[in-house]
A and B are shown apart, each in its own frame.
Chain A
Amino acid sequence: MISHIDVSSVLKRSVCDLYSNLVTRPTGAAVRIGIEHHLDEIGDKALAVLDFSHVGLLDFSCADEIVAKLLMQYVSLDIPRREVYFVFYGMKESHLDAIEAVLERHGLALITQLADGAPELIGIVEDEQRRAWEKICEMGSARAADLAIAIGVPADSAARTLDTLWRRRLVIRQEGGYFPVRGATNGLIAGGLLADGAGTRGGSGVEAS
């Protein structure tokens, strides 16, 4: 399942309908809890597109509460809460300032989707993981053996790298191999998590398909 969550709408619903800026730690915590409530309803395997297009300012405290603490629950090398992948959509340059700082602080990474639809990997990622991720995006999907040939590393090394990327929820693991995490704003297929673009928009600013 793919779910589109308008973060600005969650802010207005959770905190105050007059606010357009994500500032202060209590505000960030309230918005994160709103997002978590939605994620609790969308199944055990899902892709959440968090849309920041209508968010004005995002400060460090809110970035830590919303982005870092959300990722830490769902993106873990040990036992993540559930298999939820995230795409951060509609980020402005000033948002990225705050987000990159908190990713660095916690050693996290995430996928943003740019206006042209291209995904970008930001945060703390080892060179080999980044190389593998970029190749997966280029190839559209790959098994460990395909990736090993493509980037010229032993098969077991490619398998370990892909497994790490999957545990960090930076690639999607399906029966057919590994797929890049991409948003589904135009009804795109994202790693087998099919979006038909015909979701319903609810009062919470959530669109699911």
Chain B
Amino acid sequence: MTTVIDVPHSLDDRSFEEIFDKLAPLPPDEKILLDARRTRWASPYGLTGLLTIAQTRLERPAFAVPENDDTASYWSRASFFKHAEGLYDISGRVPRTRQASESSVLLEVTPVVHTQDVHTVVENIQQRAQAILSEKLHLQSKVTMRFTMAHSEICQNVIEHAGTGGWVAVQAYKWQQRLGGRNVVVIAVCDAGMGFRKSLESSQGPRPTDRWGDAMALEETVMRGMTRFRDPGRGQGLAGVKRFIGNWQGKFSVRSGTARIAVVPQWDEDEPMKENLAPFPGAQVQITIPERMPDA
């Protein structure tokens, strides 16, 4: 039997919870079909999250391609299908990737498995980030370095803590409704590895407190720089990312296991911590950096 899971019409970190909710009760060996035929848009979180789901299934899942040509074409240009074809049985028409580069795709969906992948990601994004960050987001050119640094740290987190590979993607786009239609750059890094709680437990075991769980593990790592390594130099990466995001009024969220923590800027009304979410392995990170207004 195949369980069909509808992919939301607009797929971002919020609507992705619908997929997690439907996925959670299913045994990992049950065949699933992710039906994206009616999906019209996906954020980097959506695209990388879809690939991550496939990595959690024991039975090779199926995937139905968006029927809307623009959507499917965009997903092709973002290299989604290039990787999805190795993970899913694909049904529907996959558009051939055009050679012309997509200006809003700062970084196509890219696997992060080895250290050299981080170098590749950093080299690629540096070349494209400068123009978009300065022209669309009105950020000073020196911010590009810090942006890339944040990117590097988040990708390394996958390699060092996930115990498995992950996916990264970066896009720039204009919000239609939120923030008065400002441009934003969104980074998503998703993996289906051990997650933050198990990573901490791997060196120190569970904390002797009733509160111990995914939420507390996220608080300790993201907010307090804890890490499974004894080396006191560890744990600076996420702290640095958090500082950078705060300085540029960005938003930073990490979902792991059944919890999600967020550094929420003034322009957003998200909750700093969500617990009792549908369980999903690994960690799913999203960074949003909005256009800086002239008087900001």
Residues of A within 8 A of B (CB): 16, 19-21, 23-27, 56-61, 64-65, 68-69, 92-94, 97-98, 101-102, 105-106
Are A94's CB and B119's CB within 8 A?
A: no
Interface residue? B261 (CB, 8 A): no
Q: Chain B at the A interface: mostly helix, strand, loop or mixed?
A: helix
**In the bound complex, what is the Cα–Cα distance between A59 and B147 (angstroms)?**
11
Are A21's CB and B146's CB within 8 A?
A: no
Expressed in whole angstroms, the minimum distance between the Cβ of B44 and any Cβ of chain A is 20
Are A23's CB and B122's CB within 8 A?
A: yes
Interface residue? B239 (CB, 8 A): yes
**In the bound complex, what is the Cα–Cα distance between A159 and B12 (angstroms)?**
62
Are A61's CB and B156's CB within 8 A?
A: yes
Are B119's CB and A24's CB within 8 A?
A: yes
Are A57's CB and B145's CB within 8 A?
A: yes
Are B153's CB and A59's CB within 8 A?
A: yes
Are A105's CB and B240's CB within 8 A?
A: no
Are A93's CB and B233's CB within 8 A?
A: no
A56 / chain B contacts, CB cutoff of 8 Å: 126, 145
Expressed in whole angstroms, the minimum distance between the Cβ of B111 and any Cβ of chain A is 15
A61 / chain B contacts, CB cutoff of 8 Å: 152-153, 156, 236-237
Question: In chain B between 227 and 276, which residues have their CB closer than 8 angstroms to a CB of chain A?
Answer: 232-234, 236-237, 239-240, 243
A25 / chain B contacts, CB cutoff of 8 Å: 156, 160
Are A105's CB and B233's CB within 8 A?
A: yes
Interface residue? B118 (CB, 8 A): yes
Are A101's CB and B236's CB within 8 A?
A: yes
22 contacts between A and B (CB under 8 A): A16-B116, A21-B119, A24-B115, A24-B118, A24-B159, A25-B156, A25-B160, A27-B119, A56-B126, A59-B153, A59-B237, A60-B149, A60-B240, A61-B153, A61-B237, A92-B145, A93-B142, A94-B142, A97-B149, A98-B240, A101-B240, A101-B243
Residues of B within 8 A of A (CB): 115-116, 118-119, 122-123, 126, 142, 145-146, 148-149, 152-153, 156, 159-160, 232-234, 236-237, 239-240, 243
| Chain B CB within 10 Å, residue with most, of A27, A56, A59, A102 | A59
- A16, A23, A98: the one within 8 Å of B118 (CB): A23
Extra 13 A-B pairs, beta carbons < 8 Å, given A24-B159, A57-B152, A102-B236 = A16-B116, A21-B119, A24-B115, A24-B119, A24-B156, A59-B149, A59-B152, A61-B152, A61-B153, A61-B236, A69-B233, A101-B240, A106-B233
A105 / chain B contacts, CB cutoff of 8 Å: 232-233, 236
- B115, B145, B152, B233: the one within 8 Å of A68 (CB): B233
- A26, A65, A68, A98: the one within 8 Å of B149 (CB): A98
Residue on A with the closest CB to B159? A24
B122 / chain A contacts, CB cutoff of 8 Å: 21, 23, 57
A20 / chain B contacts, CB cutoff of 8 Å: 123
Expressed in whole angstroms, the minimum distance between the Cβ of B170 and any Cβ of chain A is 15
Residue on A with the closest CB to B119? A19
- B142, B153, B232: the one within 8 Å of A60 (CB): B153
- List the 4 closest A-B pairs by CB distance, nearest first: A94-B145, A64-B233, A60-B236, A23-B152
**In the bound complex, what is the Cα–Cα distance between A21 and B122 (angstroms)?**
8
Are B236's CB and A64's CB within 8 A?
A: yes
B142 / chain A contacts, CB cutoff of 8 Å: 93-94
**In the bound complex, what is the Cα–Cα distance between A97 and B148 (angstroms)?**
13
**In the bound complex, what is the Cα–Cα distance between A19 and B122 (angstroms)?**
10
B232 / chain A contacts, CB cutoff of 8 Å: 105-106
Are A101's CB and B145's CB within 8 A?
A: no
B119 / chain A contacts, CB cutoff of 8 Å: 16, 19, 21, 23-24, 27
B236 / chain A contacts, CB cutoff of 8 Å: 60-61, 64, 101-102, 105
Q: Known interface pairs A21-B123, A64-B233. Does A97 touch B146 (Cβ–Cβ under 8 Å)?
A: yes
Expressed in whole angstroms, the minimum distance between the Cβ of A65 and any Cβ of chain B is 8
**In the bound complex, what is the Cα–Cα distance between A98 and B149 (angstroms)?**
9
B156 / chain A contacts, CB cutoff of 8 Å: 23-25, 59, 61
A59 / chain B contacts, CB cutoff of 8 Å: 149, 152-153, 156, 237, 240
**In the bound complex, what is the Cα–Cα distance between A60 and B237 (angstroms)?**
6
A27 / chain B contacts, CB cutoff of 8 Å: 115, 119
B234 / chain A contacts, CB cutoff of 8 Å: 64
Expressed in whole angstroms, the minimum distance between the Cβ of A104 and any Cβ of chain B is 9
